[in-house]
Amino acid sequence: MSLGLQPDFDKKDFSCLLSGCGNEQTADTFIQFVTRRNKNAKIYIIDLGDEQIKAIQKLVAFKCKDYNVEIHQINALDLEKIINLKSLDWIETDGFMEYFDNRSLEKLLQVWHRLLKKDGFITTRDCVTEGKLTQIADYLRINIAYQWLGVKLYTHTKQDFNKLFAKIGYKYFLGNTWLYSYRRFALIKV
């Protein structure tokens, strides 16, 4: 299945967001991917973690100072404080939606919808609860994350995503990954 989108990474005012990057390696990979296609792209990188933000700031100061990269320690629900409406071409996340309960996830998807340009898109990978085996995997994943990392994760079913995406105004593609309950998402505004 295809959404019929042909991203134009090299357009003059291309801007993108890496939301909840987690570490400097992810940020470096993202920056290199974008700047190989457009050296003048505007890149926003956000995370909540102080340690992560400091590591990314150090990376950008050392390796990426010639690029237009802004780093912010901010909750993704507050992105409209730092990014103009309808200004983003691309939002990228990975394992990010699982940090939001359904109500907060709806708010996040609304914020992203308002920030995206008319032809903007979102790419991500996240867990989708489907069937008994993923319920067991979810139980383990959620408990390990809480016990080991001290973070709370939430489960979302395919029906949860269908409902939220339709309600907010997204057309989307859902694909498999090599991990059993992990799925690839691509979303565009309708």
Overall number of domains in the chain:
1
Does residue 43 lie within any of the structural domains?
A: yes
Query: Considering the domain boundaries, does residue 67 fall inside one?
Result: yes
Report the CATH number that the domain containing residue 104 is assigned in CATH: 3.40.50.150
CA dist 41 and 87 (Å) reads 12
Residues of the domain holding 76: 15-189
Residue 154 lies inside a defined structural domain of this protein = yes
Do 79 and 111 contact (CB within 8 A), yes or no? yes
Show pLDDT as tens, one digit a residue, over the chain (190 residues).
Answer: 567 778 899 999 999 999 998 889 999 999 999 999 999 999 999 999 999 999 999 999 999 999 999 999 999 999 999 999 999 999 999 999 999 999 999 999 999 999 999 999 999 999 898 877 778 888 888 888 889 888 899 999 999 999 999 999 999 998 888 887 889 999 999 9
Neighbours of 158 (CB within 10 A): 12
Cβ neighbours of residue 36 under 8 Å, at least 6 residues apart?
none
In a domain, 181, yes or no: yes
The rounded distance, in Å, linking the Cα atoms of 113 and 120 is 9
Write down the residue that tokens 């995370």 correspond to.
47
8 belongs to a structural domain: no
CA distance 11 to 1: 26
Residue 118 lies in a domain: yes
Evaluate whether residue 48 is within a structural domain.
yes
Is residue 2 domain-resident?
no
